[in-house]
Amino acid sequence: MLPVYDLSCDEGRGAFEGRLDRLRNTASSSTDAGRVVAEILAEVRERGDAAVVDYMRKWTDPEFTADRLVVSGAELDASLDAVDPALVAALEQSIENVRAYQEHVLPRDPEPVRVGSAELGMRWSPVDSVGLCVPGGTAVLFSTVIMLAVPALVAGVPAESIAVMNPPATRRADEPASDLAPAVLATCKLLGLSRVYRLGGAQGVAALAMGTERIEAVDLIAGPGNVFVQLAKAQVAGITGTDNGFYGPSEIVTVADETADAERVASDLIAQAEHDPGKCFLVSWSGEVIERIVRAVGEQLGTRKRREAIERSLAEESCAVLVADADEAIAVTNRLATEHLNLAVADPEGMLGRIRHAGEVFLGDTPVAAGDYYAGPSHCLPTGTTARFTSGVSAYTFLKRTGTVRYPEGVDARTAGHIALMAEAEGLDGHAQSARVRAE
């Protein structure tokens, strides 16, 4: 069950700091996982498809073969018929919602500004190609295809230049072969995505970054995944672009006061805990509120299919935090810098203005699942306290900024003189002359 830590005592503070350190360490490349990832990248660089297949056999399917890497067009065409029409309708509405939001936030080129005799501007342009990491494992995360691909499409990345990697479900040698879920393939088909790979893990990131015999390299890799996927993204940065985010195991922080509905708050905590592992933090200045919500969590566990995973996440990765007041609740929340933040308080808008770090904020009685599937902002959000310095996926992720400089009337003598003076002070007389020659 969810442990409760009282920050007014040394024992409670120490236990909470331990949880916080564990949360931060999920994004650290100095662990054994970082060394394993470096070895995988080197193998894929050296041996291409053969290395990818070896790692897929090791971690996903002991009978995996290279001819399974690429999903065929026929498989994509057949996928829609294999999915419940009601689900297809829900997927189409989700795509429409996410597209509308991403189009709304899409940046436009600003009007040029005149600074002295120069006309200065900036233009946005999309990357040429992207690879999207869609996790597999025990859940069928077709929603992640929407939350990654729609922002890329809105940014202007061509559908034919978007590659999706999604691994089959993990199986043992004595189990029947598994394959990609029809709902994942159907979502790709609805979005017009034709480059789909049965691929996952650090080996998938390596293949997308460097290219192999069957897998074409991309210019930018984005998306969530386990610690190996996220550390692989960090280690290939420079070989290819990345989303600059650490989108790892799912998290939620709920700040609750006396107005919070215990049953609904509990359902949100459980929803994130079932990701296995999920990390859940309940913050309140009322011991009675915490007690009600923890009790509601226990009452709901018996009806959840993933009860074992939820109980493990709550006991090992999560906690409730009893603070002195709303000010301390906000301070704790900003330190946790969580993926999902739910403000289940009487005045969520008032508290929002004091929140500095969070991937996405849900105000009042709003289910976090709305953000996971349907509302509009991408559910690919920073984890491991990295919301302190980075953001979730959006159309911005797939855009580059390019500055423009123009002197409509030419470079005047005063401007050339200033440029030359600064260049010569740095010992770069060629720079100086390139300015002076335009003013002569």
Residue that terminates a domain, selected from 242, 266, 290: 242
Q: Do 94 and 126 fall into the same domain?
A: yes
User: Considering the domain boundaries, does residue 382 fall inside one?
Assistant: yes
User: Considering the domain boundaries, does residue 209 fall inside one?
Assistant: yes
Count of CB atoms situated within 10 Å of the CB of 440: 6
Residue that terminates a domain, selected from 226, 242, 258: 242
Is residue 96 among the annotated active site residues?
A: no
pLDDT in tens, 274-300: 877 789 999 999 999 999 999 999 899
Q: Do 15 and 50 fall into the same domain?
A: no
Count of CB atoms situated within 10 Å of the CB of 141: 21
The answer to whether the CB of 141 falls within 8 A of the CB of 231 is no
- 14: domain CATH number is 3.40.50.1980
Q: Which residue reads 């997308």 in tokens?
A: 208
- Mean pLDDT, the chain, rounded, equals 93
Q: What is the pTM of this model?
A: 0.91
- Residue 369, pLDDT > 70, answer yes
- Residue 29, pLDDT > 70, answer no
CA distances from 145 to 87, 165, 183, 224, 430 (A): 15, 10, 10, 11, 51
Q: What is the pLDDT of residue 177?
A: 64
Domain count, the chain: 3
- Residue 175, pLDDT > 70, answer no
- Residue 308, pLDDT > 90, answer no
Q: Do 152 and 227 fall into the same domain?
A: yes
The answer to whether the CB of 292 falls within 8 A of the CB of 266 is no
User: Considering the domain boundaries, does residue 405 fall inside one?
Assistant: no
Q: What is the pLDDT of residue 52?
A: 97
Q: Report which of residues 69 and 137 the model is more confident about.
A: 69
Q: Which of 43, 317, 339, 360 is catalytic?
A: 339
Q: Do 425 and 311 fall into the same domain?
A: no
Q: Report which of residues 318 and 27 the model is more confident about.
A: 318
Q: What is the pLDDT of residue 86?
A: 97
The structure tokens listed for 3 are 């442990």
User: Considering the domain boundaries, does residue 356 fall inside one?
Assistant: yes
- Residue 322, pLDDT > 70, answer yes
Is residue 339 among the annotated active site residues?
A: yes
Q: Do 192 and 341 fall into the same domain?
A: no
* Structural domain range at position 277: 4-27+248-392
Annotated binding site: 250, 272, 275, 340, 372, 426, 431
Q: Do 229 and 310 fall into the same domain?
A: no
% residues pLDDT > 70 (the chain): 97
Q: What is the pLDDT of residue 30?
A: 62
Annotated binding site for Zn(2+): 272, 275, 372, 431
Q: Do 358 and 416 fall into the same domain?
A: no
User: Considering the domain boundaries, does residue 200 fall inside one?
Assistant: yes
